[in-house]
Amino acid sequence: MILIDPVEEATVGICRACELELEDAAEFAVCAACARLVEVETAQLLLRLGPLGAIGTVAQVADTKQSLAVLYASTALGPNADRIAQFLGSNRTTTRQYGMRFRAARIWTHDEVLGPWSTSPWLSPAFCRLFLMDALVGSGLAVRGKGRWEFIADEPARAA
Ligand SMILES: [Zn+2]
């Protein structure tokens, strides 16, 4: 008689980004090398975007940077807010909120992360601009329909 333990089977991890087999149970679902790459690339992207003061208040800039980190992590980790919160060490409630906005804008589908930036070369001006626009969707400052973004009027907050 062959005993199959479905629980044990489910914990066998494969890196979502490079398909390397993970030694221990898939904590974040990416291997250490890919996790480091996500971290480095997020920092590169933020560096390329420069100071984002024009976005709005200090809090809105911070929200957008966090949203950007969540969105970029999702390209490796998949559209799973809880997994991303664990990976980034970020607040789960806030991360879920970004995730809900990404879902509403169809940037996150049930298992994919899709954006117009995905066809532009990494760190090209187009990539940076389009990725930032989707990050603004996550932070609630813009909405996206079919490849178009609109800023949400929030003048009192901007003036504050
Ligand atoms: Zn990997």
Please give, one letter per residue, the 3-state secondary structure of the chain: CCCCCHHHHHCCCECCCCCCECCCCCCCCCCHHHHHHHHHHHHHHHHHHCCCHHHCCHHHHHHHHHHHHHHHHHHHHCCCHHHHHHHHCCCHHHHHHHHHHHHHCCCECCCCECCHHHHCCCCCHHHHHHHHHHHHHHCCCEEECCCCEEECCCHHHHHC
Residue 140 in any domain: the answer is yes
Residue 37 in any domain: the answer is no
Q: Average pLDDT, stretch 86-113?
A: 95
At 5, the pLDDT band (50, 70, 90 cuts) reads: low
Ligand 1 centroid – CA 120 distance (Å): 22
Domain count, the chain: 1
Residue 144 in any domain: the answer is yes
| Residues spanned by the domain of 126 | 45-159
Residue 15 in any domain: the answer is no
Residue 51 in any domain: the answer is yes
Residue 35 in any domain: the answer is no
Q: Average pLDDT, stretch 17-45?
A: 86
Ligand 1 centroid – CA 35 distance (Å): 7
pTM equals: 0.84
Ligand 1 centroid – CA 21 distance (Å): 8
